Amino acid sequence: MKKLFPFLKPYRLQLTVGPFFKLSEAVLELLIPTLMALIIDNGVNAGNTGYVIKMGALMFVIATFGVLFAYICQYSASIASQGFGTDVRNAMFKKICSFSFEQLDKFGIPSLINRVTGDVNQLQSAVAMLIRLVIRAPFLCVGGLVMAMAIDLKLSVIFMLVIPMFIVVLFLVMFKAVPLYKSVQKKLDTLTLVLRENLSGVRVIRAFAGVRREKERFNEKNTDYADTAIRVGRIAALTNPATTVIMNLAAIAVIYFGGIRVNTGHLSQGEVIAFINYITQILNAMIVVANLVVLYTKAYASALRVNEVLETEPSVKYGSKTAVEKSENAVEFKNVSLTYAGSNISAVENINLSVKTGETLGIIGGTGSGKTTLVSLIPRFYDATEGEVLLGGVNVKEYSEDALRNEIAIVQQRAALFSGTIASNMRMAKEDATDGEIRAAMSTAQATEFTDRLERGFDTGVAQGGNNFSGGQRQRLTIARALIKNSPILILDDSASALDYATDAALRKAVKENTASKTVIIVSQRVNSVKNADRIVVMDDGEIAGIGTHTELFKTCEIYREICLSQEEGDEDEKK
């Protein structure tokens, strides 16, 4: 919880001014029943019209100031709560951006989205209520009780019996509700995950006629979430009726025993009415307190989830070296192994490999052979669990994040584009890229073939995820984006899988011509994509099965030969 308190410091003024004016409003509100009693006893009963008008005017002035004070409090609460929420969301986003891929996998994207949005919104409400009601409601309870005791001490004993009952009800609600609110949030994460998978994979679902199955799956998760939410709602719903019954029983007792004391001359009619007004104030304040208990129970569950993100330290700690040193080997793997969290099987195991500066290295292998895992260790998307990865002869852990990012340009398997324009996507890699640089990179990536036909050219809009482009077009745009960066090391991770053979060949030729001085690592399942590389690494079940040129491996590596022959047969089938 301590992680959240610093976010309130910039709003200390609002946190002071707001409650002060709300407390002032409560003080004025407590005066109203007493003034009403004076009007009845000294004005109405005595037939003194002037006194009634004078006290009525005073009550009007008090009510006017009460409205003004309430407005100032509300304004302060709005500034503090919205500012607090904005700052927390910014801090969470910054923290999430520092997470490694392993930590992102651990939390899950849907859960992180819910935490940044829903949970922070819950905390915003808690801050607003902190300013508006947390001080006012208890003060009205205590103040109303004190004023009632001042009118008649014996009659106020009723409150001494009621308040403990009220506290017991609130405790029971909190005891039962807190664990359930946590469960509700977790099930909301699961529901969001299912929804996200369905929306992003809607084409696949329809292609395999899986709409009915996914409807049933979503309905199952939705029903599970609803059942838990209803269960906790039932518990929370008991709060208002229980507290209302308790306080109304107290009001009945006050009217009954108050009438007796009026008959005995211990109380006046105005004092009984004032006493009942104080009961009403206390009743309303108690109901507000009950609702606050429910609100802060939810906020507590949300705070734990937000804190979990803020307190998680990035598993990847960057070093202080700001520049990558030049050496004979651009990249080296020394006895490298990686086991993903929650798995007992190594994704890559005992890898020893050197990539020379300026060399083009191909990496090929079947699905799940460890190709992508291997290249993900170079920019430290994951850290090796054993061994070390060297960049320019220095362990990658010694470099700063900027040094690594400047040294390496990577095109990942999934072509990720962002809403905006083609040009804005290109300038993500280099902010000051000129139109000429963009065109050169697009030409190398074979993207000008379709961008030149677009009416607005590079200013053409890009939909979310680049869904207004085909798979091959998205891949060429992401390759162009990596080329604009002009980094010494270029990694193409199966980035041309959606391209036809002719375009793929033209792309490889253009990349080779324009990256002659760069170290290029090409990951692919296609033999044609890697066969002209200086060397080829064959991966199988997380291990290196062979290293050499295309000719050497075809003769000496059984796995590589099988891949070549299977793809040649596929080519022949296509020709037929």
Q: What's this model's pTM, rounded to 2 decimal places?
A: 0.72
Span 308-323, pLDDT tens digits: 899 888 888 888 888 8
- The phi and psi torsions of 419 (rounded to 5 degrees) equal -60, 140
What is the residue-wise DSSP string for 11-47?
GHHHHHHHHHHHHHHHHHHHHHHHHHHHIIIIIITTT
| C-alpha distances out from residue 108 to 103, 112, 189, 449, 459, Å | 8, 6, 9, 38, 34
Higher pLDDT, 213 or 7: 7
What is 5-311's CATH superfamily? ABC transporter type 1, transmembrane domain (1.20.1560.10)
Average pLDDT over residues 201-218: 78
Instruction: State how far the alpha carbon of 514 is from the alpha carbons of 375, 442, 519, 570, in Å.
Output: 22, 12, 12, 31
Cβ-based neighbours of 13, under 8 Å, separated by 6 or more: 76
Per-residue 3-state assignment (H helix, E strand, C coil) for 261-324:
HHHCCCCCHHHHHHHHHHHHHHHHHHHHHHHHHHHHHHHHHHHHHHHHHHHCCCCCCCCCECCC
CATH code of the domain made up of 329-571: 3.40.50.300
Q: Is 179 helix (H, G, I), strand (E, B) or coil?
A: helix
pLDDT at position 573: 40
Average of pLDDT values for 490-495?
89
Where exactly are the structural domains of the chain?
A: 5-311, 329-571
Structure tokens at 48: 């003194």
Q: Compute the average pLDDT of residues 28-47.
A: 79
- Cα–Cα distance measured from residue 513 to residue 517, given in angstroms and rounded to the nearest whole number: 9
The Cα–Cα gap between 444 and 503 comes to 11
What pLDDT sits at residue 572?
Answer: 43
Average pLDDT over residues 422-435: 90
Q: How many residues does the chain have?
A: 576
Q: Looking at residue 574, what is its pLDDT? A: 37
Which band of pLDDT confidence, cut at 50, 70 and 90, is reported for residue 136? confident
pLDDT tens digits for range 362-407: 999 888 888 989 999 999 888 888 999 999 889 999 999 888 888 9
pLDDT at 575 over 70: no
Q: What does DSSP say about strands 489-493 and 408-411: parallel, antiparallel, or unpaired?
A: parallel
pLDDT tens per residue across span 223-266: 888 888 888 888 877 777 887 788 788 778 878 887 887 777 77
The C-alpha angle with vertex 213 and arms to 210 and 218, in degrees rounded to 5, equals: 120
Query: ∠ CA 501-502-506 to the nearest 5 degrees?
Result: 115
